[in-house]
Amino acid sequence: QKEVEQNSGPLSVPEGAIASLNCTYSDRGSQSFFWYRQYSGKSPELIMFIYSNGDKEDGRFTAQLNKASQYVSLLIRDSQPSDSATYLCAVSSGAGSYQLTFGKGTKLSVIP
Amino acid sequence: DARVTQTPRHKVTEMGQEVTMRCQPILGHNTVFWYRQTMMQGLELLAYFRNRAPLDDSGMPKDRFSAEMPDATLATLKIQPSEPRDSAVYFCASAGQLSTDTQYFGPGTRLTVL
C-alpha cells in the first residue's frame, strides 16, 4: 500500500525564519510530487509541484526532491503569519496516473 | 469560471436520511475526484471519473455511497442511508487532460449526520 508520511507538527517558527516541511513516500515508482496548503476550514490549495530531482523555486517557496531517498520537502523563506496552515504532501505515479496519495499534513504556525 | 464549485457548503441531517452533494468541475477538465477528509483519516479518495466514466470507486462504501457524473459539468455523490460516521468534509477536485494528476479542489461540503 502506498504511504506518504509527514510529521503532524505543529511546527512553530518565528516570523521571517525559514520553515522546513518534510515528507517521505513508500512507492519507489512515484513520479510526481505536490504540496498543498490548507487553511483551517478551507480546501487544499495547490502551491507547488515537482517532478525531477533537485530544487524548484517559486517565490518564497522551494520544493526539494530526492527520489533515491524517497524524500520531498518544502522550504518557506521569510515565513509570514499568513503562511500558518496545514501543508499536505501528495504523490502520484506520474502523468497518466489519476490518483494522488496524500499525507496527513504538517501544521505550521508562524509566530509574529 | 476557473474554479471547482460544490453545493451545498454545509449539510446537517439525521441518521438514515439521504444526502446528495454536487460538484461542478473546472470547465474543460475531464477528470473528477471525490475525497472525504476527517481528522483521523486525513484525505481519502472515494471515487473518480474520467470523461464521465467511473474509473475507480474502491474507496467508497458500496452499500450506501454512490457517485455519478450525469454530464461533463456535474458530478454527484449520494449517501443513502447516512450514518453518523459519515460526518466529514467531502471535497470534489478536477484535473485537466494534460496534467491528470494536478488536481484543483472545490470548497467542500461539510456534512454532519446526527
Per residue in B52-79, pLDDT tens?
998 888 889 889 999 999 999 999 999 9
Q: What is the pLDDT of residue B62?
A: 87
For chains A and B, count residue pairs whose Cβ atoms are closer than 8 Å: 51
Residues 6+ apart with CB under 8 A from A100: A34, A90, A91, A92, B45, B101, B103
pLDDT at residue A95 above 60? no
Interface of B with A (CB under 8 A): 31, 33, 42-43, 45, 48, 50, 55-56, 91, 95, 98-108
- Mind telling me how many Å the CA of B99 is from chain A's nearest CA? 6
pLDDT confidence bin for A20, thresholds 50/70/90: very high
pLDDT confidence bin for A92, thresholds 50/70/90: confident
Confirm or reject contact between A104 and chain B (CB < 8 A): yes
Of the candidates A43, A49, A105, the beta carbon closest to that of B105 is on A43
pLDDT at residue B30 above 60? yes
Candidates B33, B40, B43, B94: best to mutate against A (most CBs of A within 10 A) is: B43
Q: Measured between alpha carbons, how far is B97 from B59 in angstroms, rounded to an integer? A: 23
pLDDT at residue A97 above 70? no
Output the nine-digit C-alpha cell for B10. Answer: 454545509
Residues 6+ apart with CB under 8 A from B52: B69, B71, B72
Q: Exposed, middle or buried by CB within 10 Å (0-12, 13-18, 19+), for B1?
A: exposed
Nearest to A97 by CA among B90, B35, B26, B48: B48
E strand intervals along A15-59: 19-25, 32-38, 45-50, 54-58
Sheet bearing A54-58, strands edge to edge? A4-6, A19-25, A71-76, A61-66, A54-58
